[in-house]
A and B are shown apart, each in its own frame.
Chain A
Amino acid sequence: MLSGCTGEPPSAAQKSASQPVASTEAIQDVPEVSEQPADTGSDAPQDDLGLLVPGVLQVGCEIGYPPFEYYADDGVTPIGVDIDLGDAIAEELGVSIERQDTAWDGIFAGLAAKKYDVIISAVTISAERMENMDFSTPYIENWQSIVVKRGGSPITELKGLEGKNVAYQDATTSDEYLDDLINTGVLSCERFEYAKVMNCFDDLNLGRVNAVLCDSTVADGYISREPDKFEISWLQSSEPGAEAETFGIAIDKGNEKLLNAINEALKKLDESGKLDEIRKNWFS
């Protein structure tokens, strides 16, 4: 009964149960082919997609960023919004999908070095990033948010961060946002920079920091799992003239074919309601 109701993730879990690092091994076999994608791809039907390995969409993502991409209980099966989205896009394109669990601080370098075709990993579209990579049409809207411990004194405005200990994940848009605030003299605070967003919430829980600055979508995920621990006390959308950040799929600069194919697939998923379904599934 259980296996019947579970859908995709458990079947993947069964596979990996016997071979826990199956995914990484599979990727390691690929390289020989990927050096000359143009030659090997000429007779394959998908060669017009501009993939590194014809027929396989290779995706870079930093797994461990709930609810976008993280591991199920077995520690090897990726689940989350971006995982569902990636599967849906691969299905639209008629290709198989392979994921590489990359550390966030190496994720863009991996795209530039052609280690994978795209990054589907809650990447915010920013003008700075667009200089080095292309982005698909946005698939999710997001605001910066301040999360505090439930029951403490809530920080209901940006100014409230003044002099406080603020945690955020390194090299994210939260990092850039705080940079701007501090550089323009709007506020000054103690900065606690972490490699993983989870560590921010850990330290908030332990009382080492007063607030976490992070994506509202991420905050949403943490709060829905531990509703009595944390709460969002401020949303960027409350600021006058604020514009929502958007997440997009990052593609190597100049790969028009793949960009168009993915935008086409996103459009179809939007029209069929599949995109909404995925979003509704993960966010309240």
Chain B
Amino acid sequence: MKPLHKKIIHAAAVVILLTACVLLSLYKPSREQLDNSVSDELITDAGNNFSGVYYDFWLFNITRGRNVKTAVSETFIGAAGRILSVNEGFGRSMADVILWLPALAGGARVTVSLTICAVLAGLFLSIFLALGKISKNPVISGFCGAYIFFFRGSPLLMQLFFIYYGLPVINPALTINNKFFAAFVAFTLNTGAYCAEIIRAAIQSIDKGQFEASRVLGLTYGQTMRIVIIPQSIRRLLPPVANEFIMILKDASLVSIIALADLTHVTRSISSSASNVMVYIPAMIIYLIITAFFTAIFTRLEKRFSLYQ
């Protein structure tokens, strides 16, 4: 528990910050004022080639007018009742980044949701695959072994391409039109194979004596797994699963091939549209923020499950 006076200081800080934000947003110039700052020459010179962009970020707003043919542009940021012209140097670069942020955030949303869905579903699938592979039944272990061999042995890019473009050609009934779902299927099938090996290794790393002891105590195979083995292996499989999660997060950039706009796809499109490679900097920072967030979650999980050690 924090002491009371610290709580009060924190609460006061939040209130002051919020008030400052509300005041800032209230004294932000209107869209009209901002748009009017764009010079008439630029608009008349450009004619049909004029392109205007406007974003409202609550605390401040930004507008850019551009002649898309000659790439001449004017950018203005409005905040706290003032209008700043940011056309060169550092200010200009920051304005670029601000204008890209909504698009990049959209891409990040696709990347993160695809990764979370695929890893969760893949983990579920992998439990059966792992148990199947260590099963004594040769048919089951053979099938699971072949599945893992196939999905680990061929590139994810090709699997994705085949599921989205190949299956409809083989049989129209296998068509998956939803791009996100097609990517989800491919990533789940693929990460399922990797996680199965992680789980198998975790289970088999538990000392054989524990199986024998459980048998002596009269536990069935299912009970041994559920009560003795799996709780211990969870601690051991968390670090490699966290690793797999981060790998998938970055492999998600492959979905560009099926026209799903993930963070990398958006970054590349912006980069070639604006002929500006600097967009990779905010994009990489976004990747790092996402990774840091999920690494922290996995670290907490690991601490929690280490009770069993």
B116 at the A interface (CB under 8 A): no
A110 touches B269 (CB 8 A): no
A127 at the B interface (CB under 8 A): no
Binds B, one of A9-17, A145-153, A178-186, A253-261: A9-17
Looking at the complex, which one of B71, B107, B110, B259 makes contact with A225 (CB distance below 8 Å)?
A: B71
B177 touches A30 (CB 8 A): yes
B66 touches A35 (CB 8 A): no
Binds A, one of B191-199, B212-220, B224-232, B273-281: B273-281
B168 touches A114 (CB 8 A): yes
A97 at the B interface (CB under 8 A): no
A145 CB to closest chain B CB (Å) equals 18
A201 and B275 alpha carbons, distance in the complex (Å): 9
Measured CB to CB, the nearest residue on chain A to B173 is: A35
B87 at the A interface (CB under 8 A): no
A112 and B165 alpha carbons, distance in the complex (Å): 8
Query: In the assembled complex, which residues on chain A have CB atoms less than 8 Å from the CB atom of B269?
Result: 63-64, 70-71, 75, 101
Looking at the complex, which one of A2, A71, A106 makes contact with B161 (CB distance below 8 Å)?
A: A106
B178 touches A70 (CB 8 A): no
Taking CB atoms and an 8 Å cut-off, the chain B residues in 170-200 that contact chain A are 175-180
Taking CB atoms and an 8 Å cut-off, the chain A residues in 229-284 that contact chain B are 281-282, 284
A16 and B269 alpha carbons, distance in the complex (Å): 16
B52 touches A2 (CB 8 A): yes
B99 at the A interface (CB under 8 A): yes
Known contacts A63-B273, A64-B272, A75-B266; A115/B177 CB under 8 A? yes
Known contacts A1-B35, A113-B169; A74/B274 CB under 8 A? no
B168 touches A21 (CB 8 A): no
Which of A6, A73, A103, A115 has the most CB atoms of chain B within a 10 A radius of its CB? A73
Q: Interface residues of A, CB < 8 Å — how many?
A: 63
B268 at the A interface (CB under 8 A): yes
Looking at the complex, which one of A13, A17, A71, A79 makes contact with B270 (CB distance below 8 Å)?
A: A71
Query: In the assembled complex, which residues on chain B have CB atoms less than 8 Å from the CB atom of A70?
Result: 269, 272-274
A75 and B66 alpha carbons, distance in the complex (Å): 14
Query: In the assembled complex, which residues on chain A have CB atoms less than 8 Å from the CB atom of B106?
Result: 19-21, 76
Q: Interface of chain B, helix or strand or loop or mixed?
A: helix
Query: In the assembled complex, which residues on chain B have CB atoms less than 8 Å from the CB atom of A109?
Result: 161, 165
Taking CB atoms and an 8 Å cut-off, the chain B residues in 64-79 that contact chain A are 64-66, 68-71, 73
Binds A, one of B42-50, B202-210, B236-244: B42-50
A102 touches B259 (CB 8 A): yes
B53 touches A196 (CB 8 A): no
- Flag B247-270 by CB within 8 Å of A: 1 or 0 each: 000000000111111000110111
A192 at the B interface (CB under 8 A): no
Query: In the assembled complex, which residues on chain B have CB atoms less than 8 Å from the CB atom of A199?
Result: 272
A65 and B275 alpha carbons, distance in the complex (Å): 10
Query: In the assembled complex, which residues on chain B have CB atoms less than 8 Å from the CB atom of A110?
Result: 165, 258-259
Taking CB atoms and an 8 Å cut-off, the chain A residues in 5-52 that contact chain B are 5-7, 9-10, 13-14, 16-17, 19-21, 24, 27-28, 30-32, 34-35
Query: In the assembled complex, which residues on chain A have CB atoms less than 8 Å from the CB atom of B258?
Result: 102, 106, 110
Looking at the complex, which one of B35, B71, B110, B257 makes contact with A2 (CB distance below 8 Å)?
A: B35
B82 at the A interface (CB under 8 A): no
Query: In the assembled complex, which residues on chain A have CB atoms less than 8 Å from the CB atom of B177?
Result: 30-32, 34-35, 115
B121 at the A interface (CB under 8 A): no
A21 touches B164 (CB 8 A): no
A7 and B47 alpha carbons, distance in the complex (Å): 10
A64 touches B273 (CB 8 A): yes
Q: Interface residues of B, CB < 8 Å — how many?
A: 65
A36 CB to closest chain B CB (Å) equals 10
A76 and B274 alpha carbons, distance in the complex (Å): 12
B104 at the A interface (CB under 8 A): yes
Looking at the complex, which one of B103, B110, B178, B265 makes contact with A76 (CB distance below 8 Å)?
A: B103
Known contacts A17-B55, A196-B268; A103/B257 CB under 8 A? yes
Query: In the assembled complex, which residues on chain B have CB atoms less than 8 Å from the CB atom of A3?
Result: 31, 35, 52, 54
B81 at the A interface (CB under 8 A): no
A72 touches B51 (CB 8 A): yes
A5 touches B43 (CB 8 A): yes
A10 touches B53 (CB 8 A): yes
Known contacts A28-B180, A113-B164, A224-B70; A2/B36 CB under 8 A? yes
A103 and B269 alpha carbons, distance in the complex (Å): 9
A197 touches B272 (CB 8 A): yes
Query: In the assembled complex, which residues on chain B have CB atoms less than 8 Å from the CB atom of A101?
Result: 259, 261, 265, 269
Query: In the assembled complex, which residues on chain A have CB atoms less than 8 Å from the CB atom of B266?
Result: 75
A6 touches B50 (CB 8 A): yes
A35 touches B175 (CB 8 A): yes
A102 and B257 alpha carbons, distance in the complex (Å): 7
Query: In the assembled complex, which residues on chain B have CB atoms less than 8 Å from the CB atom of A141?
Result: none
Give 8 A-B contacts (CB < 8 Å), ordered by A residue: A1-B35, A2-B35, A14-B54, A20-B103, A31-B178, A75-B103, A109-B165, A115-B177
Given contacts A9-B51, A20-B102, A225-B71, 7 further A-B contacts (CB under 8 A): A6-B52, A13-B53, A21-B261, A64-B273, A71-B103, A71-B270, A282-B69
